[in-house]
Structure 1
Amino acid sequence: MNNIAYHKAINLLRDVATPNGFLASAENTTNYKRVWARDGVICGLAALASGDDKLIATFKNTLDTLAKNQHPIGTIPSNVLISDEKSEVSYGGLAGRVDAVTWFIIGVCQYAYYKSDAAIVSEYNSEIEKALGLLDAWEFNNKHLLYVPLSGNWADEYITDGYVLYDQLLRIWALKSYNHFVKSEVLTDKIEKITTQIEINFIPDIKGEKYHERAYNEVSFQDYMPCSFSPSGYKTQFDAFANSLVLLLNIGSAEFQTKLLNYADTLASETHLGLLPAFWPPVFENDEHWSLLKNNCKYEFRNYPYEFHNAGSWPMVNGFFGLALVSKGEKKKATTILEKINEANAKKDFSFYENFNTQTSETNGVSLCAWSAAAAVLVNQSLHNNFKILI
């Protein structure tokens, strides 16, 4: 199964490879026939893991497309449409996409690391520096954590806003990746300050001045970091993507990391799919944040309980959990996650669906989704070919 699944995943990535970069899906769905920042970089990481020259070249094309369409103030496009009929650049829908900026920086640095060529980072230096300045501005209060609008990242129809954990972690990863090449004391200091603020505000019983002490003291912390907080308080769902990044970036004490790993592993094992839900538990109609969830959609409501961002299961997200397991030496557990990703991707004759209903295992969203394939490639190559991302 693993060999078949791997080759099917590689073939899908080849199908979405264009001269301008990776498309989000091979399905003929207009909004997915674009070069997306986060999708493109995640597919690019899989390209590096695969060692496939054509896919690696497509990753470079993806980065070039994003760089060429950077906004004058530093924003990286959420997505770019390039066709014979028209070209169109989007920096976000209902809100701008903060994570497009950090994924771009990560992508450039991962590509340079793979090529062992610091000149690649220099090639994009002006775009990266402009992006870093924009991230500083998005703190607003100059206290080291980004302030992210509702709908401001990949979970664009979910309830997270304000100081969103996922975006703080991507910023650390981006800064660390860039600092691998430039070796700046200023960046080293910034990484430490952001990390400290994450630990103070997202982990229980850590000493230090809180952003929102009253709200912090009202939270019943679990064995993971909550997904976000804002002036209105904390949202305490488990964010599988963010907490996988917590593990990859080694944030928090060894004891906390162990508790987090055990929580995530147990949660995955208790679902029908054997995969982590994107966020957990689901938001239901009688919950405090249901109206916020219900109204945060531009076209049609998709976040029914156990679907899409509202506790749906995404192979892409589980790919990063698999990478986290490998980084912790948990190869047996990572192998299990890879098997479950492959089983999900194989549904309906390897249709590589975007996500699945965690309760029923039914398919959801777009088929032939490139980053669902990327997840399988990343975990497979990390397990069997010792592929390592720059962290």
Structure 2
Amino acid sequence: MFTKEALNVIEQAISEQGILASSEKKDNYARVWSRDSMMTGITGIFIKNQMIIDGLQKSIKTLADFQAENGQIPSNVYGNKASYGTLVGRTDATIWWIIGACEYIIYSKDEALKNILKEKIYKALSCLKTWEFNQRGLLYSPLGGNWADEYVTSGYVLYDNVLRYWAMKNVAEVYDDEDLKILADRTKKQIENNFRKNNSDEIKYHQTAYQKASEKPYFWASLNANGYDERFDLAGNALAIFLGFDIDLDAFTQFLEKLNKEFSHWMLPVFYPIIFPKDADWTLLENNYSYDFKNQPYQFHNGGSWPIYLGWLCLGLKKRGHSEIPLKILNQYENLLNKKGSSFREYYSTDQLIPSGTDQLCFSASGYLLMKI
């Protein structure tokens, strides 16, 4: 229904340097962001849209040109300037670039680019290895160190570690690296072993915290030295389901149905439960922002609904044979897009379904296209 409009949003954001986060000249969205351009470009590959795929190639090259000495890929590039994060660095920028570069090479069969990027890709993987800090296999992210840059998750974050698995799996495939394939498989098992209750005999990353954590129908959001954050991270779980992680999908979909009943709609929150001013974690939220405070309850990362990650959720569930909930989510989103003044905004508040954030966002347009696949 809105495929043409979604494609138009993305095509308007393609520049000489690559795919911008938005064609709107607002804050810092008119830049080539690693995570935004890679997700949009990968969506282009899925739907075989050559214009978006060409934009992905430009994005890959632009970001590679600004790779830091330690192998880190910029969070975003604007002209001749690169940012690696403001308050803290962004771990997922480097991971998404590896994933996107490999997805492009696999699709295009571009042997020249494959050879040119090999050293940079392995250097980026080496950078991620140093971010383990303890050589135990899981990536450590600082507070605000990924896409949810004004939120409270930190430590061994589900989302970042699932993405790292995808990156390692892709590089192993592109460069026929058997050792890396074994490492990727080991990483997947380690995530499954440490982010949900299970019967595995393998030693847990944090045995004391694991014993105290309660069983949930989803993968926990993060693990830190002081224990588990048992919140629901929709993005991390959506990607884990898409990538074939072992999870009880019947229990998981029942949990989504429970969320639907609680919120009375299918624009599900990206993190749950919501953090309120009376909660202890509010102190982690209230000063963590660059431009203005957006994380009021039900807003932005604090329970806002992001079409991009609902898109990954729909794609993952359909891939695993669960098509009923994806259809409900798509119908809900299309109903909102039908309303006057509601276009491809960044997110929706989950209390009143008010569209908020930047408009004409490639993230949200891509989310819609992922729902339609």
The TM-score, its normalising length taken from structure 2, stands at: 0.95
Q: Deviations over 1:62-81 (max 9, x none)?
A: 11111111111101010011
In the alignment, the residues of structure 2 paired with residue 121 and residue 346 of structure 1 have an alpha-carbon distance, to the nearest angstrom, of 42
- RMSD of the alignment, in Å? 1.7
Q: Deviations over 1:321-355 (max 9, x none)?
A: 01112211223432332223333445444521101
Mark the runs of 5 or more structure 2 residues left unpaired by the alignment.
Answer: none
Is 2:357 the partner of 1:365? Answer: yes
Of the structure 1 ranges 331-340 and 224-233, higher mean CA displacement relative to structure 2 is found in 331-340
Is 2:30 the partner of 1:36? Answer: no
The answer to whether the Cα contact below 8 Å between 2:105 and 2:174 also exists between their aligned partners in 1 is: no
Of the structure 1 ranges 259-268 and 73-82, higher mean CA displacement relative to structure 2 is found in 259-268
In the alignment, the residues of structure 2 paired with residue 342 and residue 106 of structure 1 have an alpha-carbon distance, to the nearest angstrom, of 29
Q: Secondary structure at the match of 1:174?
A: helix
The answer to whether the Cα contact below 8 Å between 2:171 and 2:177 also exists between their aligned partners in 1 is: no
Q: Secondary structure at the match of 1:157?
A: coil
User: Alpha carbons of 1:217 and 1:288: their partners in 2 closer, same or farther (altered >3 Å)?
Assistant: farther
* Amino acid paired to 1:369: L
Give, in angstroms, the shift of residue 185 of structure 1: 2.2
The answer to whether the Cα contact below 8 Å between 1:282 and 1:305 also exists between their aligned partners in 2 is: yes
Give, in angstroms, the shift of residue 165 of structure 1: 0.4
Residue correspondence of structure 1 range 267-278 to structure 2 within 5 A: 267-268=259-260, 270-278=262-270
Residue correspondence of structure 1 range 8-27 to structure 2 within 5 A: 8-27=5-24
Candidates 31, 42, 46, aligned match of 1:45: 42
The answer to whether the Cα contact below 8 Å between 1:226 and 1:238 also exists between their aligned partners in 2 is: yes
Residue correspondence of structure 1 range 237-248 to structure 2 within 5 A: 237-248=231-242
* Amino acid paired to 2:201: K
Residue correspondence of structure 1 range 301-312 to structure 2 within 5 A: 301-312=293-304
Structure 2 equivalent of residue 94 of structure 1: 87
The answer to whether the Cα contact below 8 Å between 1:272 and 1:358 also exists between their aligned partners in 2 is: no
Mark the runs of 5 or more structure 1 residues left unpaired by the alignment.
Answer: 383-391
Residue correspondence of structure 1 range 62-211 to structure 2 within 5 A: 62-82=59-79, 87-205=80-198, 206-211=200-205
In the alignment, the residues of structure 1 paired with residue 152 and residue 297 of structure 2 have an alpha-carbon distance, to the nearest angstrom, of 13
Equivalent pairs: percent with the same residue? Answer: 37
The answer to whether the Cα contact below 8 Å between 1:345 and 1:373 also exists between their aligned partners in 2 is: no
* Amino acid paired to 1:163: Y
* Amino acid paired to 1:213: Q
Q: Secondary structure at the match of 2:230?
A: strand
Is 2:249 the partner of 1:252? Answer: no
In the alignment, the residues of structure 1 paired with residue 188 and residue 108 of structure 2 have an alpha-carbon distance, to the nearest angstrom, of 28
User: Alpha carbons of 1:159 and 1:342: their partners in 2 closer, same or farther (altered >3 Å)?
Assistant: same
Of the structure 1 ranges 341-350 and 184-193, higher mean CA displacement relative to structure 2 is found in 341-350
Is 2:61 the partner of 1:56? Answer: no
Q: Secondary structure at the match of 1:229?
A: strand
